[in-house]
Amino acid sequence: MKVIHISDYNPRMGKLIDIESYDLYKLNHIDGAINIPNDTLLYNKDRLLNKNDTYYIYCRGGHKSKRVVSILESYGFNVVQVLLK
């Protein structure tokens, strides 16, 4: 699994996805990040993601993003976990 720190992320690298609930996203998110809650992303992965693109995925604590990145990788998506701490 690929992992980077948020300080190493650049928007030119790919889309940044916050997988927290919409309410948590509204309270605090990284500028430029889009919100796709983790269950929504996993259940709609083929409609929301393109296997030719790279996606950078984060959550507040890192546990949900680790699980989501692992699952999406198993389906052949180019995903990277982004750590905030």
Task: Tell me the pLDDT band of 4, cut-offs 50, 70 and 90.
Answer: very high
CA distances from 62 to 10, 43, 59 (A): 19, 20, 5
Question: Angle CA(54)–CA(57)–CA(60) in degrees, nearest 5?
Answer: 165
CATH superfamily of this structure's domain 2-83: Rhodanese-like domain (3.40.250.10)
Task: Tell me the pLDDT band of 26, cut-offs 50, 70 and 90.
Answer: very high
Rounded CA-CA distance 80/20 in Å is 16
The tens digit of pLDDT for each residue in 34-77 reads 999 999 999 999 999 999 999 999 999 999 999 999 999 999 99
Task: Tell me the pLDDT band of 16, cut-offs 50, 70 and 90.
Answer: very high
Task: Give me the pLDDT at residue 3, please.
Answer: 98
- What is the domain partition of the chain in residue ranges? 2-83
Task: Give me the pLDDT at residue 44, please.
Answer: 98
